[in-house]
Amino acid sequence: MYKTTLEYFEANDIEIHYHCRDGFCGACRCNLVEGDIEYVNGEPLAFIRDGEFLPCCSVPKSDIIVTTD
Ligand code: FES
């Protein structure tokens, strides 16, 4: 099983930019179009806008639809 949404993306050849893989840098931010996620170790430090999330430190709580632009 995957520990994070980012690991799931990688296992399925979905290309996502990342750097820290721990919620600090914000490089992996994506738009959460539909569905819910939760952060595995509490709220991340990286800045994210409304509607964005960080796949490197989150897991889906439902089916999700994501965009990367
Ligand atoms: S890779 Fe740094 S916040 Fe996700």
Confidence check: pLDDT of 1 > 90: no
Helix (H, G, I), strand (E, B), or coil: what is residue 43?
coil
- Which residues are near ligand 1 (CB < 6 Å)? 18-21, 23-28, 46, 54, 56
CATH topology of domain 5-67: Ubiquitin-like (UB roll) (3.10.20)
CA angle 39, 41, 47 (to 5 degrees): 60
Per-residue pLDDT, averaged over 22-47, amounts to 97
Torsion of CA 37, 20, 23, 60, to 10 degrees: 10
Specify the pLDDT at position 69: 79
**Band of pLDDT at residue 11, cut at 50, 70 and 90:** very high
Q: How far is the CA of 7 from the centre of ligand 1 (A)?
A: 12
Give the residue extent of every domain in the chain.
Answer: 5-67
What is the rounded average pLDDT for all residues in the chain? 96
Specify the pLDDT at position 31: 98
**Band of pLDDT at residue 25, cut at 50, 70 and 90:** very high
Shortest CA distance to 51 belongs to which of 2, 19, 20, 69?
69
Shortest CA distance to 17 belongs to which of 44, 54, 46?
54
